[in-house]
Structure 1
Amino acid sequence: MNTKFLFLIGFLMMVISTNAQTQRIDSTAVYLLSRTTETMQDIKSCSFTAVTTYDILTNNLGLVKHAIIDKVAIKFPEKMKVTSTGDKGNRALLYNGQSLNYYSYDNNTYATTAAPNSVIETIDDVSKKYGIEFSAADFFYPSFASDIQSSSEDLVFLGKTTINGKECFHIAGRDKTKSFQFWIANDDLFLPLKMVIIYTDQKESPQFEAVYKDWVINADLPDTLFEFKAPPKATKTKFAPREKTK
């Protein structure tokens, strides 16, 4: 048999073996993320607070950390309210199943746009059009656990730890563009308590961190909570289109 052909077979087997050894998908990590996904899909309504910090790269100071506090209320499938304070100002987003309303407490201005007929579709739509991101959005997607598993080069369970006095499971992983960590509550609901993302494909590897607390599940949230009425003397504006990346 041709020795060159034998060499190619040996080289391919070595590559396959190396890939198999370096990729780690921990079944315990997959199970825990799947339990979180199941819980999120069973929720009829919820409210929580997200304390978020994120890095912005500057010319002179390098990475500068910013913070936002979001108070979130969701009534599935078609109601959502997010009230935010922090470095992006004081504002509110209200979705009632037909329209998404934005209000700036700082400027007394508001904008309204038509929206799809579900929370998840609305999150996708306004993220693509206007660059608006929503706290904990990833966890509410039905494919959350399977997407993490399929895209990860490593996904491991690191053991138990404590976040804000609550015992939780610690999971870490990485894919081609980032590394990430999740902290999942060690209770019957497996709710997310914290998430960290490090964007390893970007200059100086900026980080995103969110702590989720004050969870209330399946509370009776009135529809009026999600309706918007412009305050006196408020000025109507338009949603700004998302900036195109080069």
Structure 2
Amino acid sequence: MPIYMTKKIPILYCILSLVLIYPIRAQESPSIDNNAVVLLDRMSDLIGQLSSCSFKLNASVDKLMPQVGPVKEYFNHQVHFVGPDKMHIQTRGANNHAYWYNGDILMYYSLTYNHYGFIDTHENIIETIDMVNADYGIDFPGADFFYPTFTDDLLANSDKVAYMGLVNIDGVDCHHIVAVGPEQNVQLWLSNDTFTLPLRFVFLDKTEGHSLQYEGVFSDWMINPDLPDAIFDFVVPESAKRLSIVPKTKPN
């Protein structure tokens, strides 16, 4: 099943949509570049129809620290998805940790501190990511690109979206897209091939009084790999300590 459970659309309908729907939406504002919208929708449609995928994401995140301001933290993520309800993420950074999700619970384990916990979840990946982010403040690497509303959300938060043309990065041709809004600036680099997958991104958050940057580089994309169910189950080490993962705000 697709990762975010979209209904599969006939190819002919997709072609007609490219001709009829995208230009109409793009023409609503002269500051929205139709070429950028077509590429973004193509990327989102393909990701939404994947039954599974794997990728690596090397990321840096600006964290606002008292007295010194923004400080960069670096992470290496290995991500595996099987739609609609399986996810496994391994993260290397200041705290080496991992998540396992199998449709019922999200398991967390810190390799650095040898402790674990779990959260009762929803029955699909996107709803689980939404709930865990809202209630517990946990971010998942590259999750923005897996939302079916990615293009519309970007347009809604941007005053200008521009297609900057093809650029070559490390020998790979990429489509470069820039979106500028009052609260965020976004740069995206998408592969110039059949799949139009995201290769790089820079998100600049301007809401905290400082310009906080989240930057990532994707690699080793695998499209619809056959991933064994066992990688989505976690066996607690005997020496690990249980911790309680507490929501940011408790329900009334």
TM-score normalised by L of structure 2: 0.84
What is the aligned residue count? Answer: 223
- Whether 1:50 and 2:18 are equivalent positions in the alignment is no
Q: Report the counterpart of residue 177 of structure 2 in structure 1.
A: 171
Residue 234 of structure 1 and its aligned partner are, at CA, apart by: 1.1
Answer whether contact 1:46 1:217 (CA < 8 A) is retained.
Answer: yes
Question: In the alignment, residue 223 of structure 1 is paired with which amino acid?
Answer: D
Q: Report the counterpart of residue 74 of structure 2 in structure 1.
A: 67
Mapping of residues 37-186 of structure 1, within 5 Å:
37-87=44-94, 89-186=95-192
Identity %, equivalent residues: 37
Answer whether contact 2:135 2:249 (CA < 8 A) is retained.
Answer: no
Residue 58 of structure 1 and its aligned partner are, at CA, apart by: 2.8
Question: In the alignment, residue 162 of structure 2 is paired with which amino acid?
Answer: V
Quote the Cα distance in structure 2 between the aligned partners of 1:106 and 1:208. Answer: 23
Answer whether contact 1:84 1:91 (CA < 8 A) is retained.
Answer: yes
Runs of 4+ in 1 over 6 A off after TM superposition: none
Residue 153 of structure 1 and its aligned partner are, at CA, apart by: 0.6
Mapping of residues 191-230 of structure 1, within 5 Å:
191-230=197-236
Quote the Cα distance in structure 2 between the aligned partners of 1:163 and 1:129. Answer: 38
Quote the Cα distance in structure 1 between the aligned partners of 2:112 and 2:153. Answer: 38
Quote the Cα distance in structure 2 between the aligned partners of 1:64 and 1:127. Answer: 22
Quote the Cα distance in structure 2 between the aligned partners of 1:163 and 1:71. Answer: 22
5+ unaligned residues in a row in structure 1: which ranges? 1-19
Quote the Cα distance in structure 2 between the aligned partners of 1:108 and 1:59. Answer: 28
Larger Rg: 1
TM-score normalised by L of structure 1: 0.86
Residue 23 of structure 1 and its aligned partner are, at CA, apart by: 5.9
Residue 204 of structure 1 and its aligned partner are, at CA, apart by: 2.7
Give a deviation string over 1:38-78, Cα, whole Å, max 9, x none: 11011110000111101123344332111111100000100
Q: SS of the residue aligned with 2:122?
A: coil
Quote the Cα distance in structure 2 between the aligned partners of 1:234 and 1:116. Answer: 26
Give a deviation string over 1:91-136, Cα, whole Å, max 9, x none: 0000001110000111111101211100001100100111111111
Q: Report the counterpart of residue 232 of structure 1 in structure 2.
A: 238
Q: CA RMSD in A?
A: 1.7
Q: Report the counterpart of residue 35 of structure 2 in structure 1.
A: 28
